[in-house]
Amino acid sequence: MKLKLTLLLTGMLLYVAAHAQQAETTDQIETEKGPLTIQPILHGTLAFTWDGKTIYVDPYGGAEVFQGIAAPDLILITDIHGDHLDLKTLEAINTDKATFVVPQAVADKLPENFKKRSVVLGNNEHIQQLGIAIAALPMYNLPETEDSRHTKGRGNGYVLEFADKTVYLSGDTEDIPEMRALRNIDVAFVCMNLPYTMDIDQAASAVLEFKPAIVYPYHYRGQDGLSDVEAFKRKVNEGNRDIDVRLRNWYPETDKK
């Protein structure tokens, strides 16, 4: 009896601790249809909760990183690389009610049980899912070459409209013209990790051009470790103090070292 009680109390404490940790890392953006909750998870992985629905972006890192987060109603995948299309994680989490929005290159690599619930979206195409307007933008390396890590047309960045708020997800890209041409973005998630995407100078320059109200540097682990996001924040705010640069811990494993 004592053992059962101890196990029950331990489980309750772990559950409370997980929710407390998530509360510390979540942000809320007010929209005309209620709050949009933003949950940074790992690297390029995050979750949104809005209007009673949960959206996962590039689920990666195993089921444990989603502990305490509701099962997804919608999953967005940007590219075929393993830190975006992670089949082990997709098979480990509960995706029973989820619709997938993916580029064709990702759909081609999905097993049938996921593929039959997928909506393929190409660059510059638009759809509606769960009351969210979704537009796919190009994401690619510069200069454009056939052997680049990210070729134009293969992967998707996404622009999402949650009622009156617009969110941009860069995916793996450099400071391409399509990013620089964006306008009226309320929240932007911008990658910065060499040699795969861009450096902090390119990212800051692009952000200063398209002027999102809020920007989160994410996907910033590169070949030589983590990019200097503090320096990115300084560069952006030296150019425009009105842009809210939000630094969050996208690599919680580094806290344990």
* 128: β partners: 133
The mean pLDDT value for 19-41 works out to 82
Q: What does the domain layout of the chain look like in residue ranges? A: 27-248
Contact yes or no for 84/97 (Cβ under 8 A): no
Residue ranges of the alpha helices (H) in 31-161? 87-92, 104-107, 112-115
Structure confidence at residue 254 (pLDDT): 57
The token duo for 57 is 């972006």
The mean pLDDT value for 126-145 works out to 93
- Distance separating alpha carbons of residues 227 and 193, to the nearest angstrom: 6
* Three-class SS state of 11: helix
The mean pLDDT value for 119-143 works out to 96
Contact yes or no for 206/180 (Cβ under 8 A): yes
The token duo for 251 is 């690599």
**CATH superfamily to which 27-248 belongs:** Ribonuclease Z/Hydroxyacylglutathione hydrolase-like (3.60.15.10)
Structure confidence at residue 18 (pLDDT): 40
pTM exceeding 0.85 = yes
Around Cβ 146, how many Cβ atoms within 10 Å? 5
Strand ranges for the chain from DSSP E? 27-31, 34-42, 45-50, 53-57, 74-76, 99-102, 118-120, 126-129, 132-137, 157-162, 165-169, 187-191, 214-218, 221-222, 225-226, 244-245
Residues shown for the chain: 257
Structure confidence at residue 245 (pLDDT): 98
The mean pLDDT value for 78-89 works out to 96
- Helices 229-239 and 200-210, axial angle in degrees (round to 10): 30
Strands 221-222 and 225-226: antiparallel
The mean pLDDT value for 160-185 works out to 98
DSSP 3-state helix, strand, coil percentages of the chain (rounded to 5)? 30, 30, 45
